[in-house]
């Protein structure tokens, strides 16, 4: 008997199927379960879409197939699940000809990109990790651009909770890293971003949109209004003002200046998270397109106006009043910048960074003022601050409490965000109000000086050769991943990073390895921030001593927080194997 066509495989005779009830067709394709039920024949993927358990072992009742592992239930005819966490099971066409049953061995969708886009929407709406992983994998396999996936997730996150959250920050941080990531890590990055956004939105009320004012005041008035509304914590007024600024066509650099002026009305607000979230919202729009600014940018206003500033904190007031010192210095900045002019070529970033690590707050602000007089632009100050904060992490003494890693981390990610924002503002606005944040960051850095008492040794300094470590790049990176597999390998991780870079091996390969180390873990929010901020700062410094110190800081932080259970990696791996048609479990006889 001829096959219906070459895509079909012979499953058995109809009589045999009637007697046995079910048959499994094996071959180079995925295993296919053929079922006879109440006079009809059905065929579906034999691997449960949840975790791959063979469905041939399931039970059938009233047209409902139940997997016997976690008891997910499926409509036999369509393969659709009654239990969303399990996902739908793919079905395949059958033909019965002259008493023989043939099944089509290829599964697929007429429009894979559209199918997986809808599944990503479903996974986000119901916080379904496995569905999200498959949808990301399916879209990548259908050649959907990575930026399109980021856009879909970002817009969902902006619309389905009342304000910017950790998930959107993670999504943006990981999306920023995509150019450094090979295929497998890109899949993991997008999956982690999607699952964290979905988790953030789970059970949340959707966001209610507000409208811009119908007038179009000038940027100076809008900037002043936003500062006013932030000061008095008037969220609705602040959102309408920001929407008006967007509707007025203010450029992203000017919007950055307007927002930082309002944000810096409070000192180091929410231990730096508020400013970091603002920067991430800007970076998100760089990735997904500024036409989405009205949907995305106002989401950061709620946290900004509600944030608690350090001016309410005792540590900032006694024994030295650091807030007063910042205010006095900030009042001098306009004249200092005006006097220095727009000089180009100031390059003492590393020197200033080391001065910022001093133990006298007055000398620290004097160093900042001296840098401005010498021609440092606001973005230069931000870059020095970020490097100083990275050195704090690189020298973090492991005798400190483990939770203090986060104290050091907060200053670094704040400083990186500030550097990015000041760089964005550039010369598009005066940015002087925004520079107050440099003073705030410098004082936050000063307050963490105890974290470097005693300072940890930075490997590779002064010609230290580290010859006890491997020399080959692949071996170094494999050893580094192995170090992240064990607890308390902070110093070894730092030494391996120093070894890799001092031998002139590829920084990109090292960054990809650090990303792999983070992406395979159930990493916390801060680990993603640390990694991305470190890569940002690394690229600002090129291949220098400073960039080596920055990646050492990243590696030390990641090593201090590894390994974890890796449950998300297991979900991603199951999804990947199911999508690729692999058999996850050995089938048993019927």
- The number of CA neighbours under 13 Å toward the Cβ of 328 is 9
Taking a C-beta distance cutoff of 8 angstroms, is the pair 48, 108 a contact?
no
Residue 49 beta carbon to ligand FES: minimum distance, rounded to whole angstroms: 8
The partner residues of 41 in beta bridges, in order of sequence, read 36
**Rounded Cα distance, 434 and 236, in Å:** 23
Using CA atoms of 343, 345, 351, 355 in order, give the dihedral in degrees to the nearest 10: 20
Name the one residue in this structure whose structure tokens are 């009809």: 40
Name every residue whose Cβ is closer than 8 Å to that of residue 61 and which is 6 or more positions away in sequence. Answer: none
* CA distance linking residue 480 with residue 494, whole number of Å: 9
Minimum CB distance to ligand FES, residue 44 (Å): 13
Tokens 């001829």 identify what position? 2
For ligand FES, the closer of residues 48 and 411 by Cβ is: 48
User: How far apart (Å, rounded) are the C-alpha atoms in residues 76 and 495?
Assistant: 57
**Least Å distance between CB 115 and ligand FES?**
21
CB under 8 Å to 575, separation ≥6 — which residues? 130, 133, 134, 137, 191
Name which of 53 and 557 has its Cβ closer to ligand FES: 53
Nearer to ligand FES, 51 or 238 (CB): 51
Q: Which is nearer to ligand FES, 50 or 349 (CB)?
A: 50
Nearer to ligand FES by C-beta: 70 or 457? Answer: 70
Torsions phi, psi for 225 (to 5 deg): -65, -45
CB of 130 to ligand FES, least distance (A): 10
Q: Which range of residues in 44-52, 257-265, 284-292, 513-521 is near ligand FES by CB under 6 A?
A: 44-52
- Under 8 Å CB-to-CB from 318, ≥6 apart: which residues? none
CB 149 within 8 Å of CB 139: yes
For 95, counting Cβ atoms within 10 Å of its Cβ (0-12 exposed, 13-18 middle, 19+ buried), the class is middle
Helices (H) and strands (E) in the chain, counts: 24, 9
Compute the least distance from the CB of residue 32 to ligand FES, in Å: 16
Which of 45/265 has CB closer to ligand FES?
45
Cβ at position 578, least distance to ligand FES in Å: 10
Q: Which of 194, 93, 66, 185 is nearest to 135 (CA)?
A: 194
CB of 217 to ligand FES, least distance (A): 58
Separation CA 272–CA 442 (nearest Å): 12
Considering beta carbons, is residue 51 or 456 the nearer one to ligand FES? 51
**Please, which residue, 244 or 571, has the CB nearer to ligand FES?**
571
- Shortest separation between residue 520's beta carbon and ligand FES, angstroms: 23
* Nearer to ligand FES (CB atom), residue 7 or residue 122: 122
Q: How many other C-beta atoms can be found within 10 angstroms of the C-beta atom of residue 61?
A: 10
CB of 585 to ligand FES, least distance (A): 8
What mask of x and - would describe binding to ligand FES in positions 83 to 122, judged by CB under 6 A? ---x------------------------------------
CA-based nearest residue to 337, from 361, 384, 371: 371
How many residues of this chain interact with ligand FES, rule: CB under 6 A? 9
CB of 34 to ligand FES, least distance (A): 18
Q: Which of residues 268-327 bind ligand FES (CB under 6 A)?
A: none
Q: What is the DSSP string of 429-472?
A: S--HHHHHHHHHHHHHHHHTGGGGSSPPP-TTGGG---TTS--S
Structure tokens, 530? 């640390």
Find the shortest distance in angstroms from Cβ 58 to ligand FES.
Answer: 8
Q: Which is nearer to ligand FES, 57 or 240 (CB)?
A: 57
Q: What are phi and psi of 158, to 5 degrees?
A: -70, -30
Name the minimum Å distance from CB 54 to ligand FES. 9
Binding to ligand FES (CB under 6 A) within 46-85 occurs at 48, 50-51, 53, 67, 69-70, 72
86 or 518, CB closer to ligand FES? Answer: 86
Q: Is 570 in the site for ligand FES (CB under 6 A)?
A: no
**What is the separation of C-alpha 29 from the centre of its chain, rounded to a whole number of angstroms?**
36
CB of 59 to ligand FES, least distance (A): 12
Distances (CA, A) of 72 to 24, 508, 541, 577: 20, 43, 52, 19
Q: Is residue 378 a contact partner of residue 422, using CB atoms and an 8 Å limit?
A: yes
Nearest to ligand FES of 86, 133 (CB atom): 86
**Which range, of 43-51, 162-170, 349-357, 422-430, touches ligand FES by CB under 6 A?**
43-51
Residue 412 and residue 422: Cα distance in Å, rounded? 15
Residue number, 56 or 200, with CB nearest to ligand FES: 56
* Contact characters 150-179, ligand FES, x per CB under 6 A: ------------------------------
The residues binding ligand FES (CB under 6 A) are: 48, 50-51, 53, 67, 69-70, 72, 86
């Amino acid at each position: 008997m001829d096959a219906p066509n070459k895509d079909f495989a012979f499953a058995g005779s109809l009589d045999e199927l009637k007697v046995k009830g079910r048959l499994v067709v094996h071959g180079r394709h995925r295993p296919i379960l053929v079922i006879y039920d109440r006079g009809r024949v059905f065929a579906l993927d034999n691997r449960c879409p949840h975790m791959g358990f063979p469905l041939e072992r399931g039970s059938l009742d009233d047209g409902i197939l139940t997997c016997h592992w976690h008891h997910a239930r499926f409509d036999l005819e369509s393969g659709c699940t009654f239990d969303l966490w399990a996902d739908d099971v793919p079905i395949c066409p059958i033909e019965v000809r002259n008493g023989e049953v043939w099944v089509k061995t290829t599964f697929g969708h007429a429009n894979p990109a559209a199918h997986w886009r809808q599944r990503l929407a479903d996974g986000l709406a119901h916080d379904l990790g496995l569905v999200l992983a498959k949808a990301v994998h399916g879209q990548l396999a259908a050649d959907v651009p990575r930026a399109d996936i980021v856009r879909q997730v970002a817009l969902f996150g902006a619309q389905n909770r009342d304000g910017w959250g950790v998930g959107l920050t993670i999504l943006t941080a990981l999306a920023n890293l995509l150019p450094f990531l090979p295929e497998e890590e890109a899949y993991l990055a997008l999956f982690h971003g999607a699952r964290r956004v979905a988790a953030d939105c789970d059970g949340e009320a959707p966001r209610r949109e507000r409208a811009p004012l119908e007038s179009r005041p000038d940027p100076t008035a809008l900037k002043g209004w936003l500062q006013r509304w932030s000061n008095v914590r008037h969220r609705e007024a602040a959102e309408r003002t920001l929407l008006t600024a967007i509707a007025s066509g203010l450029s992203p650099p000017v919007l950055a200046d307007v927002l930082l002026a309002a944000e810096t009305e409070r000192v180091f607000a929410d231990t730096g998270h508020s400013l970091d979230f603002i920067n991430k919202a800007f970076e998100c729009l760089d990735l997904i397109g500024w036409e989405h600014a009205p949907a995305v940018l106002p989401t950061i206003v709620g946290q900004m106006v509600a944030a608690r500033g350090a001016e309410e904190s005792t540590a900032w007031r006694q024994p030295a009043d650091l807030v007063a010192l910042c205010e006095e210095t900030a009042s001098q900045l306009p004249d200092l910048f005006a006097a220095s002019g727009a000089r180009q070529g100031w390059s003492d970033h590393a020197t200033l960074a080391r001065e910022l690590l001093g133990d006298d707050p007055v000398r620290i602000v004097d160093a900042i003022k001296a840098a401005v007089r010498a021609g440092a632009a606001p973005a230069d100050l931000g870059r020095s601050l970020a490097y100083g904060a990275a050195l704090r992490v690189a020298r973090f003494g492991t005798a400190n409490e483990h939770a203090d890693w986060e104290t050091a981390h907060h200053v670094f990610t704040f400083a990186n965000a500030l550097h990015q924002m000041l760089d964005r503002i550039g010369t598009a606005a005066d940015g002087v109000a925004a520079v107050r944040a440099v003073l705030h960051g410098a004082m936050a850095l000063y307050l963490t000086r105890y974290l470097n008492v005693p300072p940890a040794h930075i490997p590779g300094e002064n010609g230290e050769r580290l010859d006890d470590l491997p020399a080959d790049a692949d071996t170094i990176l494999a050893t580094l991943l192995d170090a992240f597999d064990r607890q308390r390998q902070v110093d070894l991780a730092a030494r391996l990073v120093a070894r890799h870079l001092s031998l002139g091996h590829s920084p990109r390969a090292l960054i990809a390895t650090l990303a792999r180390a983070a992406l395979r873990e159930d990493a916390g929010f801060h680990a993603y921030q640390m990694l991305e901020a470190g890569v940002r700062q690394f690229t600002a410094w090129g291949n220098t001593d400073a960039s080596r110190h920055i990646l050492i800081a990243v590696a030390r932080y990641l090593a201090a927080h590894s390994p974890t259970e890796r449950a998300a990696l297991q979900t991603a791996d199951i999804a990947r194997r199911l999508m690729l048609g692999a058999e996850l479990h050995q089938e048993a006889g019927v």
